[in-house]
Structure 1
Amino acid sequence: MLLWFRHDIRVHDNSALEYFLTHRKNTDKAIYYVLDELWQDYHWSAIKIDFIKRHLELLTKQLAQLGIELVIHKVADHQAQVAHLSQYCQQHNIDTLVVNREHEINEVRRDQQLIKQGLKLQYFESDVIVPKGRVLNQSGEMFKVFTPFKKAWLSYVRDHGVDYIARYDQLGDTAQETEHSLSSSWPLVDTVEAQVIPQFLDDKLEDYHHQRDIPSIKGTSGLSPYLAIGVLSPRYLLRLLLQGYPDLLLSSDSSRFSWLNELIWREFYRHLLDAHPRLCMHQNFNQKYDHLRWRDDSQAYQAWCQGKTGYPLVDAAMRQLVQTGWMHNRLRMVVASFLTKHLLIDWRLGEQFFMQHLIDGDLAANNGGWQWAASTGCDAQPYFRVFNPIRQSERFDPKGDFIRKYIPELNDVPNKHIHFPHYYLADKQHQYWPAIVEHKAARERAIAFFKG
Structure 2
Amino acid sequence: MKEKPEVNIFWFRRDLRLDDNCGLYHALKAGLPVLALFIFDRNILEQLEDEDDARVSFIHDAIVKLKAELAAKGSGLRVIHARPLEAFQQLQGEYTLRNVFINDDYEPYARKRDQEIGDYLKTKGINFKGYKDHVVFEKNEVLKEDGTPYTVFTPYKRKWLQKLEAEFHLKSYPSKEYLPNLYQCRQPEIPELAEIGFKRSPITVQIPEYIEVLGNYKNTRDYPALNGTSKLSVHLRFGTISIREAARLGLEHSPDTWLSELVWRDFYAMILWYFPHTVHSSFKKEFDNIRWRNNEAEFQFWCEGKTGYPIVDAGMRQLNATGWMHNRVRMVVASFLCKHLLIDWRWGEAYFARKLLDYDQASNIGGWQWAAGTGNDAAPYFRVFSPDLQTQKFDKKLEYIRKWIPEFDDPFRYPQPIVEHKFARERALEVYKAGLAK
TM-score band by shorter chain is: 0.7 to 0.9
- Structure 1 residue 65: deviation in Å? 3.0
- Cα deviation code 1:303-346 (max 9, x no counterpart): 10111111111111111111111100000000000000000101
Q: Would the alpha carbon gap of residues 42 and 130 (structure 1) be closer, same or farther in structure 2, given more than 3 Å must change?
A: farther
CA contact (8 A) 1:43 1:355 kept: no
Q: Which residue does 2:220 correspond to in 1?
A: 211
C-alpha displacement of 1:274: 1.4
Residue equivalent to 1:111 = 114
SS at match of 2:432: helix
Change (3 A) 1:404 1:169: farther
Check 1:269–1:43 CA distance in 2 against 1; reply closer, same or farther (3 A cut).
farther
Q: Are residue 387 (structure 1) and residue 394 (structure 2) matched?
A: no
Q: Following TM superposition, by how much is the alpha carbon of 1:447 offset from its aligned partner in structure 2, in angstroms?
A: 1.1
Supply the distance in 2 between the matched residues of 1:91 and 1:170 (Cα, whole angstroms).
Answer: 24
Structure 1, unpaired ranges of 5+: 172-179, 246-254, 413-424
Counterpart residue number, 1:408: 406
- Deviation track 1:202-248 (CA, whole Å, cap 9, x = no partner) reads x3323211211111111001100111112111111122344x46xxx
Give the 3-state SS of the residue equivalent to 1:72 in structure 2: strand
Residue 445 in structure 1 maps to residue 427 in structure 2: yes
Post-superposition offset of 1:6: 1.2
Task: Give the AA of the match of 1:33.
Answer: I
What secondary structure does 2:59 align onto? helix
Kindly indicate whether the alpha-carbon contact (under 8 Å) linking 1:12 and 1:165 is maintained by their aligned counterparts in 2. Answer: yes
Q: CA deviation at 1:64?
A: 2.5
Q: Counterparts of 1:287 and 1:333 in 2: how far apart (Å)? A: 22
Q: Residue 451 of structure 1: CA displacement?
A: 1.5
Distance change >3 Å, CA 358–CA 6, structure 1 → 2:
same
Aligned to 1:360: 358
Q: Does 1:51 align with 2:54?
A: no
Q: Given the alignment of the two structures, is residue 299 of structure 1 paired with residue 301 of structure 2, yes or no?
A: no
Cα distance in 2 between the residues matched to 1:184 and 1:317: 16
The match for 2:173 is: 165
Q: Is the 8 A contact 1:86 1:114 kept in 2?
A: no
Contact 2:341 2:424 in 1 (8 A): yes
Quote the Cα distance in structure 2 between the aligned partners of 1:101 and 1:169.
Answer: 22
Where do 5+ consecutive residues of structure 2 fail to align?
1-7, 180-198
Q: Which of residues 305, 308, 324 in structure 1 aligns to 2:306?
A: 308
**Equivalent of 1:186, from 205, 210, 222?**
205
2:210 is aligned to: 200
- 1:283 equivalent in alignment to 2:289: no
- Residue 289 of structure 2 aligns to a residue whose secondary structure is coil
Tell me what 1:251 maps to. Answer: none
Residue 4 (structure 1) aligns with? 11
Task: Please report the TM-score for the alignment, with normalisation by the length of structure 1.
Answer: 0.84
Pairing 1:93–2:92 present: no
2:210–2:231 Cα contact (<8 Å) kept: no
Letter in 2 for 1:88: L
**In structure 1, distance between residues paired with 2:177 and 2:26:** 18
Q: Is the 8 A contact 2:9 2:101 kept in 1?
A: yes
Segment drifting more, 434-443 vs 91-100 = 91-100
* 2:84 alignment partner in structure 1: 81
Report the equivalent of 1:264.
Answer: 263
CA contact (8 A) 2:23 2:103 kept: yes
Q: What TM-score do you get using the length of structure 2 for normalisation?
A: 0.87
Task: Look up the equivalent residue of 1:149 and give its one-letter code.
Answer: Y
Partners of 1:69 and 1:204 in 2: how far apart?
A: 36
Offset of residue 169 of structure 1:
8.6
In 2: Cα distance, 1:263 partner to 1:435 partner: 36
Aligned-residue offset at 1:260: 0.9
Match of 2:187 in 1: none
Q: Does 1:33 align with 2:39?
A: yes
In 1, the alpha carbon distance for the partners of 2:31 and 2:71 equals 15
User: Does residue 152 of structure 1 match 2:162?
Assistant: no
Aligned partner of 1:127: which letter? H
Amino acid in the other structure paired with 2:89:
S
Deviations 1:112-151 (A, max 9, x none): 2223222421111100112322001122111111110000
CA shift digits 1:284-312 (9 cap, x unpaired) = 11111122221131011011011111111
Q: How many angstroms does 1:185 deviate by?
A: 3.5
Residue number among 314, 318, 337 corresponding to 1:320 in the alignment:
318
Q: Which amino acid aligns with 1:236?
A: E
* Aligned partners of 2:58 and 2:204 also within 8 Å: no
Number of the residue aligned with 1:233: 242
User: Which secondary structure does the structure 2 equivalent of 1:316 belong to?
Assistant: helix
Deviations 1:50-106 (A, max 9, x none): 11110000111122234432100112xxxx321331342244121321111111122
Of stretches 355-364 and 286-295 in structure 1, the one that deviates more from structure 2 is 286-295
Equivalent of residue 26 in structure 2, options 19, 37, 48: 19
Partner SS for 1:409: coil
Deviation at 1:184, TM superposition (A): 5.9
Which residue number corresponds to residue 140 of structure 2? 133
Does the 8 A contact of 1:4 with 1:99 survive in 2? yes
